[in-house]
Chains A and B, each alone.
Chain A
Amino acid sequence: MTPTGLRRTLSLLPLLILSLPVTAELSRLGDEVLSGISGQGGIYLSGDISINEVGGPVENSYFGRCDDASKKCGARFAYRLKEDGGWMVLDEIRGNFAFEGLTLRVRNVDSGFAGDGDLFNRDVIELGLPNTVRFNDVQFKIAGSSTARPTDPGFQQTDIFSVEMQGEVMMEGNLLVFPAGNP
């Protein structure tokens, strides 16, 4: 530090000391000041979602942990379209999805889309698709079942087909969600 610089620093010291009693004052950075660095809200999400990684909370004659080969460790979703009909089932739902860069924000679309944006001129929820989505052991079965619960009396189930997914999916673009029609 130069002597001049040092003198300046020293001359500032009394000001600093004088200012001590007013440390109670707020010295926040107003949002106006921050205009240059605003990211315009919204979020950029990275992370993963897994379903029944090691099994679900139910342990009975049908469901169990994934290291028990005699039990099912996935989740089960059953519905029926007739009052006394059988049940459509998505069974043994499991897997892990990992992604980087899923964005979520509300924005105005008033340009682009080959001129359609200008005519559209509305606010939309924009889901920015992640660069990559990695699937780890994503699987489920589609089946028909006689009962909603696999532990109900008379339970019978016929598996129709099963799906397994593994690998990475590259994505680009946005998903725009907006109201249409009469609310």
Chain B
Amino acid sequence: MGIQHSLKPFTTFAGGVACLVFSAGISAGMKSLDDSVLAGISGQSGLTMELDLGLTAGRLSYFDDGNGLHLEGFRVGSATDPTGQAFHLVRVDITEDATLNLDYLVEDRRIEFGDIRLAGAPGVSMGGVFFDHSLKGYLNIRQGGALGGSGYTFDTAYTMTGGRLGYRTNGNELFLDNITMNVEAIGVTLDLVGNTLTLDAPRIVGDWEVGAIRYSNNPLTHGVSLDSGTGQPLPSYGSLSGRYELSSRTDITAGGRAGEGLRIDSETVIHTASFLYTDDGNTLALRDIEGAYRINDLRLDVAPDWKNRPALALTLGSMDGDFRIGSIEMGANGKSVGQINVSFLLEDQVFNGRNYSNAIYLQGGGHSNAGPQGLRLATEWSLRLADFSYTEDGNRVIFSGLQSWGQGDVTVNVTRNEVNNGTEFFDGLRVGFEGIKAGYRINGLRVGSEDAPLQGGTELLLALGFYPAYEFELDGHVTLGAGGASGAGITINSDIRIRDGKAAIIAAPYDEGNGEVSQKGLWITELDYNAHVRDMTVDVTEDGLAIIKGEAWSTMDIGNLRVGDKESGQSFGRFVVKKYETGSSMTVIPGGAGDVCAGGMGSSAGECEASGGVWEARGGEGLTVRLRQVFAKAISDTRKNELVWETNRQIDGAGRAVNGTGTQLVLNDIYTSDGGDFDGDGIDDNSFGTRTDLSVDVYRTRVVKKADGADSLGVVGNRGDEKIMDASAAAGYRYVSNPVAQDAENRPLGFAVKARSQFKELSINNIDLVHPVGGAQTAVYGVKMQNFDIKANLTATPIP
């Protein structure tokens, strides 16, 4: 390792000891050695400085155009003893070629800020940050940068052990514990070009590990792994580790978006990287990551946000990049789900007639009832274009033309279980949303390649709550607590409110190639959605990724279900969907459908084809989502499963339909059951619920022509002819009346979803017809469905 190598200039161990003894006398404080002193020791065996450092400062301030950012309660000292000092040992050596070699050893050091405040925002602050570490490494500095003599070149490597990086608000803290890190960067150059400082790192190699991510709600516990009251280890979200090799170039220029400040431009290439999350010995691994990203014109200012609130402003000109995750592995056997590619461009763009840019305005305070400390990120974003693609077994599906925009406040607090001023808080890291007006949309799917035609297919993922387009106003929070269903993991409590939502169930492209058009579709509009989740655990298990909901209830009040345009399309009326689930779960499992008999029956290729089906070996990769939804019996008007369809509503002065004034069809109190009381507690058992397995693959499928003549692209064929991909044909395909075996291998690729849904018993207590004046009349006194096992194999391709 480089560290050992750099110690060689020290001639003898005895000499080193002599230096140590000498330096003990100056351990009480730092003393700078001026150049005249250092000149005399050039080419000699060096100088050793030993230092026990304890440093405190009440406030460090940074001013930008007169606006202040204050770091309060600054301290450097021992990590284990709040009043102690951190041990430093630095050996300085200047070689014949005037290279300055620094070998250093730092033990048990903590650097912390008790609080971060912005001038002009009294009473609120961002909270405290602490960073513990022991370091051993070297830094060699020599004159001459990438552009010649005026710059510098650095070689550095270090090992960090016993690291902790924590964030604390209002007595609660969250920290990365037991961080170990090795970093090596050789040939880093620093040059001044004009008024720009350029830092070029041609190769940075490292690996890192975070032993645990811990949470404490005990105000007396600070920066330690054990609870100071119980002595027990603090709960953990799991552990992380990774490796990387990258190169980067960063330009830093003076001057903010307005007046003083900083400008950063940067380009980073990730040659290889991995990221592993481990929960009780089970790992979710992202491997073979590579890609690049470029930051253009990122400005750092202390400047107010759009509501004139004091803030540390990070405003971005643009950022683009692309990434490839070569393999996503999970489960006991490390089976791969497949590969993901993402490309993105964050840049100013007009959405819905309004210009959006990319900016984060960091402020103090967090949620107003969580206490004075916390983070508020007044955020605006504009994702101009992104493509997200998923490849399994060599076949690819692209979620094409993803765009997103929004503005609003995100708050971050570390909170504990309590009710403050009427707001319920939970143990964990609380990410709050306040007045976020946002949206996203995709242009469609492309299956196979980037130049494949746009098609639908997201309709097949509705069971997973995926909408191809969504606009909303969002308030609420997601609180991520430490500890899963057992041991490490994540526990989520969440309350979300969406207002004035517009979500597409089916959506045509927003851009067919001739510019933006109104996105036609089947839309749920005037949506008011309230969703609550309690004690939902997320764990990596032997099977894959397991999400278990303790209790979840929601009301989705769809003002109109519209066909066509989301604003002006005609409406089917109002729909209200209430859900109440207990013990529901979702497990994500690597591997898709495997062998499938599409359009027939049979468990072998021969049986399948004999029944008229097509035998499809969809391969080992792919993704399966296993859903279990346990619909509980109603316990209140909001915690129940109910479906209401209302039409014939009265119209108000503004021409809007008034909810509750029409005629309603009510499917009241829908619930699942195991079909009897088998445990003898007097209540029907309800643990099976509805179970849905969705397997997603990309695979070839049979597409037949539906009418004689030319199709939408002018390719001629007869009804019943099969579509066969052929690169030599003008449109990329041709129609074949009697396909041979080779043709079958060139069938079009489709987005293949295999679904299996089963339930033991699903009941509806009653179905009522409700008249606004006459009241409710029961039409059906109970529905009971039993013993259902429905399988569907559907493959979606473009309409020829």
* A residues with CB within 8 A of B: 23-26, 28-29, 31-58, 60, 63, 72, 74-83, 85, 87, 96, 98-101, 103-108, 122-125, 128, 131, 134, 136, 148-151, 172, 177-179, 181-183
Q: How far is the CB of A125 from chain B (nearest CB, A)?
A: 6
Is B798 a contact partner of A148 (Cβ separation < 8 A)? Answer: no
Is B791 a contact partner of A106 (Cβ separation < 8 A)? Answer: no
With A44-B796, A75-B789, A149-B786 already in contact, the answer to whether A183 and B507 are too (CB < 8 A) is no
CB-defined contacts of A134 to chain B, threshold 8 Å: 599, 612
With A39-B453, A183-B574 already in contact, the answer to whether A76 and B787 are too (CB < 8 A) is yes
* B residues with CB within 8 A of A: 267, 269, 292-294, 320-322, 343, 345, 385, 387, 400-401, 443-444, 450-457, 459, 506-509, 511-515, 520-522, 560, 562-565, 569-574, 598-601, 611-613, 647-649, 657, 662, 675-676, 688, 691, 701-704, 706-707, 712-713, 719-720, 731-732, 750, 758-761, 778-800
Set A26, A39, A80: member contacting B454, Cβ < 8 A:
A39
Is B522 a contact partner of A37 (Cβ separation < 8 A)? Answer: no
Is B565 a contact partner of A123 (Cβ separation < 8 A)? Answer: yes
Task: A32-B513, A57-B688 are known; give 6 further A-B pairs, CB within 8 A.
Answer: A39-B798, A53-B789, A54-B789, A80-B782, A123-B520, A183-B570
Q: How far is the CB of B503 from chain A (nearest CB, A)?
A: 14
Can you list 28 pairs linking A and B with CB atoms under 8 Å apart?
Answer: A26-B343, A28-B343, A31-B443, A32-B515, A35-B513, A41-B455, A41-B456, A43-B456, A45-B794, A46-B797, A47-B792, A50-B790, A52-B788, A53-B791, A57-B788, A74-B787, A79-B782, A81-B781, A87-B784, A99-B599, A100-B703, A106-B506, A122-B563, A123-B569, A149-B676, A150-B786, A179-B571, A183-B657
The 8 A-B residue pairs with the shortest CB-CB distance, nearest first, are: A35-B513, A123-B564, A56-B787, A24-B292, A39-B798, A39-B453, A183-B571, A43-B456
Set A40, A47, A85: member contacting B799, Cβ < 8 A:
A40
With A35-B512, A52-B787, A106-B506 already in contact, the answer to whether A182 and B647 are too (CB < 8 A) is yes
Q: B762: nearest residue on chain A (CB-CB)?
A: A77
Is A103 a contact partner of B560 (Cβ separation < 8 A)? Answer: no
Is A44 a contact partner of B789 (Cβ separation < 8 A)? Answer: no
Is B564 a contact partner of A106 (Cβ separation < 8 A)? Answer: yes
Q: A78: nearest residue on chain B (CB-CB)?
A: B784
Q: B688: nearest residue on chain A (CB-CB)?
A: A57
| Residue among B453, B574, B779 with most chain A CB within 10 A | B453
With A and B bound together, what is the CA distance between A150 and B713 in angstroms?
55
Is B706 a contact partner of A56 (Cβ separation < 8 A)? Answer: no
With A and B bound together, what is the CA distance between A154 and B649 in angstroms?
45
Is B702 a contact partner of A41 (Cβ separation < 8 A)? Answer: no
Is B563 a contact partner of A178 (Cβ separation < 8 A)? Answer: yes
Q: B783: nearest residue on chain A (CB-CB)?
A: A79
Set B451, B514, B570: member contacting A122, Cβ < 8 A:
B570
With A and B bound together, what is the CA distance between A48 and B701 in angstroms?
12
With A and B bound together, what is the CA distance between A101 and B648 in angstroms?
36
Is A183 a contact partner of B560 (Cβ separation < 8 A)? Answer: yes
Is B506 a contact partner of A26 (Cβ separation < 8 A)? Answer: no
Q: How far is the CB of B398 from chain A (nearest CB, A)?
A: 10
CB-defined contacts of A74 to chain B, threshold 8 Å: 787
CB-defined contacts of B345 to chain A, threshold 8 Å: 26
Is A151 a contact partner of B508 (Cβ separation < 8 A)? Answer: no
With A79-B780, A125-B522, A136-B611 already in contact, the answer to whether A100 and B509 are too (CB < 8 A) is no
With A26-B320, A32-B511, A42-B799 already in contact, the answer to whether A52 and B564 are too (CB < 8 A) is no
Q: How far is the CB of B83 from chain A (nearest CB, A)?
A: 49
CB-defined contacts of A107 to chain B, threshold 8 Å: 520
With A and B bound together, what is the CA distance between A27 and B669 in angstroms?
53
| Residue among A47, A54, A79 with most chain B CB within 10 A | A47
Is A98 a contact partner of B599 (Cβ separation < 8 A)? Answer: yes
Q: How far is the CB of B795 from chain A (nearest CB, A)?
A: 5
